[in-house]
Structure 1
């Protein structure tokens, strides 16, 4: 009798555990992510960013360049698979990485020159192939170059300031907080769709959460982390980050819908590909760079 009773209790505990795991899985599925994997990958990326950012800034430049190369590979691969676009990855990757490095070492002028040379190299490289669909291929290639390395270079420009490590940290923090606010508020309270034809999961309530979270984080960050910054500047920067991050996310969703895919890649479990993490960061970078110049100078 005792053994039977113990087995029954144990079975009930297992049933409760299984039920709890099932509920957690259903919540994760409704949220659209593998949450444990997403959290683990996010934590790993966070450690990599913090170590390179504050130990040796050029190492973080290498991280940016590496993300650019992988992002271009993902984007050009999807373009080839879904649209048969022949985008020359080698000159795009080399030129894109060089643009990031030029921006950090020599500033915006050198980055613009490197970007122009990259575009010219794309034109020449594609000329070695057949003329059929030449215009389509170079147009898509120039779009990819402007979308990934050009926008990513603004992160290197932010980093180049004397307190660049802290500026980049604030920029990334606000972007992550904006995404987290949109996710948390939208998942809990979201009812009214923001852009159902582009991203059915996004809601107006989620956008409000993104704005509120980012503005609060911005006020605290500019007041306490940036020398010469003020809380009201942080409010404005948080608002700008929430808007541009949301637009960036919608923009990549539009691209993926056109390509007929869910994610740009599978490199990051729980997140998708590198481009699925850069979607909100890339368009936000130039806005943050400009705002830092206006608020606290170079």
Structure 2
């Protein structure tokens, strides 16, 4: 499954950028569906799924075509439509549902839009590939080192399997990978910039994983979905990517410009 997803991502990235933009939009729509479904099942929270999913895809496309300003406008319009849509159901629990709707709009489509912003650069395919590679290296380093050497728990109440040794492995793998990627893949990139990018990615990816673990613990579930055999749902694959994307985009902007 991992190899199949990787093949789709790489092929769409380097053959035709709009195809990869479509991959992001579809992932956002499925992620919204998974999150809203779990909220309804476990907490009886009614998030208007249709306008949020359609609006989420629109946010991603607006970010790619019009930059950060376009993404903000699309987000504002999406939230407005979602809140109005929810008004047609009932006044009971409106504030709770509206709050969850705004959270879902920010958490899934808005954060995913920063991948589209990376993609929009002239060397966007290489920026996105480097970003994805570093997140994968972070996850791999955390698992490999944590499994072999992990002793001290990182956040036992949230994710008992994570260890401080695993975090060190994630940082080490991502920093080495970042230095290599910036030296050979990123236009005008410098190896030391890659070290900083790797450090930031490893920390943000770990926090993102912990964040979704906390959500799942609150909901009383193991996985957000079952769409990907052996991997859970789409949201279980996006947990590390979503909060890392805006940080990576900002560092690209600082190091190499908008492209």
Task: Name the TM-score, length of structure 1 as normaliser.
Answer: 0.86
Residue 219 of structure 1 and its aligned partner are, at CA, apart by 0.3
3-state SS of 2:141 partner: helix
Q: Distance in 1 between matches of 2:150 and 2:116?
A: 36
| SS in structure 1 at match of 2:224 | coil
Select 1:262's aligned residue among 202, 210, 222.
222
How far apart in 1 are the matches of 2:68 and 2:106?
14
In structure 2, what is the equivalent of residue 159 of structure 1? 119
Write out aligned runs for 1:126-145 (5 A). Answer: 126-145=86-105
> How far off is 1:267 after superposition?
0.5
> Is 1:220 aligned to residue 153 of structure 2?
no
Aligned partner of 1:116 in structure 2 is: 76
Show the counterpart of 2:147. Answer: 187
Does residue 51 (structure 1) correspond to residue 11 (structure 2)? The answer is: yes
Q: CA RMSD in A?
A: 0.4
CA distance in 1, matches of 2:122, 2:2: 27
- Who is 2:164 aligned against? 204
Pair 1:170 & 2:115 matched = no
Map 1:1-298 onto structure 2 (within 5 A).
Answer: 41-298=1-258
1:21-64 CA distance string (max 9 Å, x none): xxxxxxxxxxxxxxxxxxxx100000000000000000000000
How far residue 231 of structure 1 moved from its aligned partner, in angstroms, is: 0.4
Paired with 2:11 and 2:211, the residues of 1 have a C-alpha distance of: 31
Q: Take 1:186 and 1:260, find their aligned partners in 2: how far apart are those partners? A: 25
* In 2, Cα distance between equivalents of 1:108 and 1:200: 37
Partner SS state of residue 39, structure 2: helix
C-alpha distance in 1, partners of 2:149/2:196?
A: 25
Q: Secondary structure at the match of 1:228?
A: coil
Deviations 1:177-226 (A, max 9, x none): 00000011111111110000000000000000000000000000001101
Deviation at 1:113? Answer: 0.1
Between Structure 1 and Structure 2, whose CA radius of gyration is higher? 1
SS at match of 2:161: strand
Which deviations, in whole Å up to 9, do the C-alpha atoms of 1:106-165 show, x marking residues without a partner? 111011000000000111000001100000001001101100000000000000000000
Deviation at 1:227, TM superposition (A): 1.0
Gaps of 5+ in 1: 1-40
Paired with 1:290 and 1:45, the residues of 2 have a C-alpha distance of 26
Instruction: For 1:224 and 1:55, locate their aligned partners in 2 and report how far apart those are by CA, in whole Å.
Output: 20
SS of equivalent to 1:200: strand
